Amino acid sequence: MDGRGLVFTLDALVAASLVFLVLAYVNGMVGENNVGDWSGTRMLESGYDTADVLYNTGALQAMNVSWMERIVNSTTPPNTAMSMRILSYTNSSGQMMQSNTMNIGPPVPDSQAVAYGKRTFLTFKDGGVEYYNVAEFWVWSK
Amino acid sequence: MVEMKDKGVLFTAGLALLAYAVLSFASMAVSYRQEMNDVTYQEALAERLFSDSESAEADLKDLLTNMSGIGVSVSGSQVTFKEQLPNGNADTFKEGLTNYVRFKHTQSKNLALNVDELKNTLTLSISPSDVNYTHNTYGGREIRINPSTSVSKYLVAAQTNATIDRCEVNNPSVGSSMVLDVRVDGNSSSCYRILDVNTTETVSVSVNSGSIGVSTLPGGRLLVSNNLQNPINVSATVYLIDATEDIISVNIADGIVRASFPEYGLVKTRGVRLN
């Protein structure tokens, strides 16, 4: 009778160990694939929308930092933060040379997932292009 | 003894089945998650394609508006194009386009801009009437309007600093399919003609023996030319049949902007709307 109990217990322990091993493996597999989600795309869309508003209101072309900050603060969803950098280039004998940089918003965190996008726009002076600009943006969850 | 063995086997088999079920469920969850990741990634790429092409469209519109020397306005069923002939902005605009394409290429490898037609003939099309405003050569001495549907009237107004001493109408054919209204103002003189023209024939208003010419050609096409040494300011208004301001758009040809991620089968092409 004692021998039977021992076999039964050992059998149960082995089976339970197998189940736990399977569960641990499953947990690992699911965890590994849990990197991309919808919120990243939504943050990206939010960033593009804000960049569009900045362009369509003329704030980008005016390069007015306080105007741009007001728009960024009013269009960014409350649970997200956005930062922007504008790089301005001029044409010099067929080469694009970077001439100015402008930063808007808080520093980009390096310890969490951040959505990144950009759009270009032009500014004009005296009937020609003054700057070829790139507005880069980063959006992340607060 | 036998009963206990059966119980043990059943217990083990039950646990094994449970483990198999959990494993299958997890496999499905992983597969679903992977699928979702792919969809999310493709959605992000599509968003980027859309944004890249949209900002290129806006940039090209800004370039054309600020540098081409061509003004476009829509009012009611009328579309007006204003331009100097020859266009003194042509070379600057072409150079601006070349630089912009170079700049855009450094920013996005997935974007192709086909600006050849824009540089060569700078053709603008009116939708939905499918009427084209174009040049034999952009920066040259001719403006053309090619309608594929009916246009009821052309109003061509031009200003020159030359003295107008001759104002003639060649082949004043009788017809009523279209009105040609020509008003050329010169230095203290002018040439005004309003003609009912037949669109199967060529009818011309010639100023100073062809120095300035305004013609309707078979098919209802319009040709404006300037052979004077100095440029003239031209305003050409097209009166469209069955079109209203809210549906009229003036565009650069579709396909000038092409953004793609061929490895994912994603392609976005677009033209540039000016109004």
| Domain residue extents for chain B | 44-273
Adjacent-strand bridge partners of B240: B151
ipTM of this complex: 0.80
Q: pLDDT tens digits, residue range B95-137? A: 999 999 999 988 888 889 999 989 999 999 998 888 999 999 9
CATH number of the domain bearing residue A67: 3.30.1140
- Cβ of A30 under 8 Å from any chain B Cβ? yes
A48 and A20 share one domain: no
Angstrom distance (rounded) from CA A60 to CA A123: 9
Q: Which domain holds residue A73?
A: 38-141
| Residue type (1 letter), A74 | S
CA A48 to chain centre: 11
Q: What angle do CA B172, B173, B179 make, to 5 degrees?
A: 80
Residue B14's CB is within 10 A of a number of other CB atoms, namely: 11
Of B15, B59, B100, the CB nearest to A19: B15
**Of the partner residues A33, A51, A96, the one whose CB lies closest to the CB of residue B30:** A33
A136 shares its domain with A95: yes
Which of A4, A29, A127 lies nearest to residue B26, judging by beta carbons?
A29
The region that residue A16 occupies, defined by phi over 0 for left and psi between -120 and 50 for alpha, beta otherwise, is: alpha
Residues A114 and A127 occupy one common structural domain: yes
Q: Mark whether A86 and A114 lie in a shared domain.
A: yes
| Closest partner CB to B51 (pick from A19, A117, A122) | A117
Cβ contact B40–A12 (<8 Å): no
Q: For every one of its 142 residues, what pLDDT tens digit does chain A have, with 9 covering 90 and above?
A: 567 788 888 878 887 887 788 778 777 766 655 544 557 788 888 999 999 999 999 999 999 999 999 999 999 888 899 999 999 999 888 888 999 999 999 999 988 889 999 999 999 998 899 999 999 999 998 8
Write the secondary structure of B52-120 as one string of H (helix), E (strand) and C (coil): HHHHHHHHHHHHHHHHCCEEEEEECCEEEEEEEECCCCHHHHHHHHHHHHHHHHHHCCCEEECCHHHHH
Token digits for B157? Answer: 């107004």
Alpha-carbon gap: A94 to the closest alpha carbon of chain B (Å): 7
Residues A44 and A91 in one domain: yes
CA A90 – CA A97 distance, rounded (Å): 5
- Single pTM value for the model: 0.82
**Contacts B54 to A, Cβ<8 Å:** 52, 119
Whole-number average pLDDT of chain B: 89
Residue of A33, A38, A55, A57 for testing the chain B interface, max B β-carbons within 10 Å: A33
- Count: domains in chain A: 2
Same domain for A101 and A60, yes or no, is: yes
Same domain, A26 and A9: yes
Give the separation between CA B19 and CA A42, rounded to whole angstroms. Answer: 37
Binary contact (A29, B37; C-beta < 8 A): no
d(CA B179, CA B157): 14
Q: Are A107 and A90 in the same domain?
A: yes
Question: Do residues A57 and A89 both lie within one domain?
Answer: yes
